[in-house]
């Protein structure tokens, strides 16, 4: 199953998108905020991971798959 991320685009549209699409739109600065398990994250107000360095996660998977 593919993981989906719930996002609010800069134009106000709320949608769910695949992680790869999320990463692409995030790097293009088209996402205003996105939802994590602990609530909404406003892009630009909270430090995000470095999108230029792609390292595989080596820990236990804790995300829900939709």
pLDDT by 10s per residue, the chain, length 66: 678 999 999 999 999 999 999 999 999 999 999 999 889 999 988 777 655 555 566 666 666 655
The alpha carbon of residue 58 and the mean position of all alpha carbons in its chain are separated, in whole angstroms, by 19
42's enclosing H/E stretch is strand 39-42
pTM of this prediction exceeds 0.85? no
The 3-state DSSP class for residue 9 equals: strand
Supply 66's token pair.
């939709």
The domain limits of the chain are 4-42
Q: 5 vs 11, 39, CA distance in Å?
A: 17, 12
- Contact predicate 4/16, CB 8 Å: yes
């Amino acid at each position: 199953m593919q993981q989906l991320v719930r996002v609010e685009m800069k134009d106000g549209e709320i949608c769910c998108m695949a992680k790869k699409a999320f990463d692409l739109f995030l790097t293009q600065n088209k996402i205003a905020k996105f939802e994590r398990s602990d609530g909404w994250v406003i892009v630009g107000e909270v430090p995000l991971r470095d999108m230029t360095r792609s390292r595989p996660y080596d820990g236990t998977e804790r995300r829900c798959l939709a």
